[in-house]
Amino acid sequence: MEYKINMYSDGNDPFERESDNVGVLQVYDKDGNNISSSVKVQLFLNKNAMIGLGTELIRMANNSFRKYNHTHLEPAQKDFLCQRMGIFLTPDSSELIISCDELGIIDDYLNEE
């Protein structure tokens, strides 16, 4: 399957129309406590990392998406160089876990408050 992306979006892509393009970002401390509400997370990517990660996310969504399927991206080390999901993470990076889940629509989360 080939996936084509319009590089000049008008903000009305198919994945935007139903408000079901939802993601959850959670951050955990070294003890496994969820500290998401008290921290800011920054993701720095160069152009090729954006293209690589974006491509692999599209592949994951189309080829192996199933609830709870996940992949770990670990920081590179001199004795363990690992490219996963189209990118290398620098040695000072945090581990990144990308997980598939059925999350409904954004209104479901806004109405909880």
Comparing CA positions, the residue from 58, 98, 56, 52 lying closest to residue 74 is 98
Residues in CB range of 94: below 8 A, 6 or more apart: 75
pTM score of the predicted model? 0.82
pLDDT reported for residue 112: 64
- Report the length, in residues, of the chain: 113
Amino acid letter for position 7: M
* Residue ranges in the chain whose pLDDT is less than 50: none
Q: Burial, 74: exposed, middle or buried (Cβ in 10 Å; 0-12, 13-18, 19+)?
A: middle
Distance CA 106, CA 103 (A): 8
pLDDT reported for residue 17: 83
pLDDT reported for residue 113: 54
Comparing CA positions, the residue from 6, 102, 105 lying closest to residue 61 is 102
* pLDDT tens digits for range 33-59: 999 999 999 999 999 999 999 999 999
